[in-house]
Copies of this chain bind each other. A is one copy, B any other.
């Protein structure tokens, strides 16, 4: 009831909802902890951050320093995957306080005999808990402080830097106070830095009119690898429902030979743990995973929790679906629209525990097959707490697993999915097009609390979104959108080959691809090379070479007096890699502007030489001023400058 402690710890950050949710980091990243620490009166305060990995028994420590206005700070590095806890401890340091007082009294020519006697008490107390190697130092001090004949020696020792350091390193922590515990989840690096490519395996065939297979996909791996992608995401590869199958362009009645939507999962050939027969066998798939791995590509699988009417679950687990009073099963609908080829899961089912368990089993099954990355379809239409439960369970066993939320939904819903445990999230980048809205959105992602728990993944297009600005767009526009994604966000993705072949025909007035691969397969000549592919490959290569592009939050927009030009500064934590990126948003005209360098961040003064080298063209320039001229032409509408001071 009565709490005699004298120090208050308030506003510990980083934290999400005051510690209700964990923050996220990757291995070897820094956690900068801030806290408001308040003592009554004028006594000297000391504080420390205590942190430990979930498997550690003992807390490690990082001493905090006062920055300004009762704001304290310390950092620690998270070196292992999994959960770390951290908390702040603070106390009045009576010994340092005593030293501070005696120094000022000596400066004021006061006689400090009584103060030296007080000092002995602090030395004796500290001696009780200190190392043996310190005992002789302390005993010696006690002798000197006690001996009036050695007064001059005593005041020299009492005010010594050595004693200060000793007190600082051996605090008594009397009446110390602790904050609550906060948590940080540490992922492998790919959680933050990943470059995704998506294509439909059924469109992978070399022959026109033939359904692609996993073997065809294998043949395309070198192309994916050469373009610099490290994650190959395949839409669902499970058996496609035959009942109420969708036709081309989302028509409700499939015609003979229509292959249906890959998201209409389940048929007589099986469900979520099975492979669509036309793609090949489980062994073919495992082989693809293995071959990809050899080329540093991870296969990302689609996790779509819904069922075609002929999914085996419908008969085996009728309670997982909603049955109407007329005895039919409830299909998906958003009245008056009906989606008869898909049955939604009935999450209110009283058999939900078995349902959740089966959902978890699906993930575990594919993880055992070698999958470590899941792109989750429409997570916002399944319960938030289900995601929290399933992600927690998977990551406890398999911390390498990454979950990307296809959360194209309301902002707070998207954020909540990240809070509940999603590793990455799709974002609104797909629709952010002009300079003002791009800057505003990136600032929101990187400068607000979001930066602590939501890791964005920027996609210029997806099979569901053929954005208006790309429909019929030229090569320059495609370069711009890809470079924007690739430099603004450390995780990005592309749906190909429609993107790099600029195949952007759309359903009229809609952001849907015409003849979408969601409902049919398409023949491509995958061997065609073009400039866009060359630029994408080069930019991806630059991302892999430059740590500054491997995290998203380290960004500062630079003034450039032209609304068609964007400029921003990126850096790595050690500042050994610093980039200045300039992108034109005009796909048709040359744009000129004068960009302001962030001199203070660069640590240079005006007049000092700043060398910049364009990482695409290798051209280099020497700048000497804060403001510098830039001209970009639509043929190569960007600079990624490496800064050499």
Which A residues lie at the B interface, using CB under 8 A? 1-6, 8, 10-11, 17-18, 20, 36, 38, 40-42, 69-71, 100-102, 104-105, 107-108, 110, 113-114, 117-118, 120-121, 174-175, 324-326, 328, 333-336, 347-348, 352-353, 356, 380-385, 388-389, 410-413, 416, 419
Return the contact of A416 from the options B2, B8, B117, B174 (Cβ within 8 A): B8
Q: Check A411/B11 contact, CB under 8 A, given A336-B104, A389-B2.
A: no
Contacts of A334 in B (CB 8 A): 42
Q: Check A381/B114 contact, CB under 8 A, given A4-B348, A11-B17, A18-B18.
A: no
Q: Determine how close the nearest CB of chain B comes to the CB of A93; give it in whole angstroms.
A: 13
Q: Determine how close the nearest CB of chain B comes to the CB of A303; give it in whole angstroms.
A: 15
Closest 10 CB pairs of A and B: A108-B336, A117-B325, A18-B18, A104-B335, A3-B385, A41-B381, A114-B326, A70-B412, A101-B335, A6-B383
Contacts of A11 in B (CB 8 A): 17
Return the contact of A325 from the options B101, B121, B381 (Cβ within 8 A): B121
A20 and B412 alpha carbons, distance in the complex (Å): 24
- Whether the pair B114, A328 counts as a contact (CB closer than 8 A) is yes
- Whether the pair B118, A325 counts as a contact (CB closer than 8 A) is yes
- Whether the pair B389, A3 counts as a contact (CB closer than 8 A) is yes
Q: Check A335/B38 contact, CB under 8 A, given A2-B356, A70-B412, A114-B326.
A: no
Contacts of A42 in B (CB 8 A): 334, 381
A411 and B410 alpha carbons, distance in the complex (Å): 37
Q: Check A8/B384 contact, CB under 8 A, given A114-B324, A336-B107.
A: yes
- Whether the pair B38, A413 counts as a contact (CB closer than 8 A) is yes
Instruction: Name the residue on B nearest A352 (C-beta).
Output: B4
Q: Determine how close the nearest CB of chain B comes to the CB of A381; give it in whole angstroms.
A: 4
Contacts of A324 in B (CB 8 A): 114, 117-118
Contacts of A383 in B (CB 8 A): 4-6, 40
Instruction: Name the residue on B nearest A113 (C-beta).
Output: B326
A8 and B420 alpha carbons, distance in the complex (Å): 10
A117 and B2 alpha carbons, distance in the complex (Å): 62
Contacts of A36 in B (CB 8 A): 412
Contacts of A108 in B (CB 8 A): 335-336
Return the contact of A1 from the options B118, B336, B389, B410 (Cβ within 8 A): B389
Known: A3-B385, A6-B347, A40-B384; 17 extra A-B contacts, CB below 8 A, are A1-B389, A5-B383, A6-B348, A8-B384, A40-B381, A40-B383, A40-B413, A42-B334, A42-B381, A70-B410, A100-B335, A101-B333, A101-B335, A105-B336, A107-B336, A114-B325, A175-B348
Instruction: Name the residue on B nearest A71 (C-beta).
Output: B412
What are 25 A-B contacts defined by CB distance under 8 Å? A2-B385, A3-B388, A4-B383, A5-B383, A8-B384, A10-B17, A10-B412, A10-B416, A11-B17, A17-B18, A38-B413, A40-B380, A40-B381, A41-B381, A42-B381, A69-B410, A69-B412, A71-B412, A100-B335, A102-B335, A104-B336, A105-B335, A114-B325, A114-B326, A121-B325
A100 and B334 alpha carbons, distance in the complex (Å): 10
Among A38, A120, A326: residue with most chain B CB under 10 A: A38
Q: Determine how close the nearest CB of chain B comes to the CB of A196; give it in whole angstroms.
A: 25
Instruction: Name the residue on B nearest A384 (C-beta).
Output: B8
Instruction: Name the residue on B nearest A17 (C-beta).
Output: B18
A227 and B412 alpha carbons, distance in the complex (Å): 53
Return the contact of A69 from the options B40, B118, B411 (Cβ within 8 A): B411
Contacts of A381 in B (CB 8 A): 40-42
A70 and B18 alpha carbons, distance in the complex (Å): 21
Instruction: Name the residue on B nearest A110 (C-beta).
Output: B336
Contacts of A100 in B (CB 8 A): 335
A8 and B382 alpha carbons, distance in the complex (Å): 12
Q: Determine how close the nearest CB of chain B comes to the CB of A414; give it in whole angstroms.
A: 10
Q: Determine how close the nearest CB of chain B comes to the CB of A146; give it in whole angstroms.
A: 10
- Whether the pair A40, B412 counts as a contact (CB closer than 8 A) is no
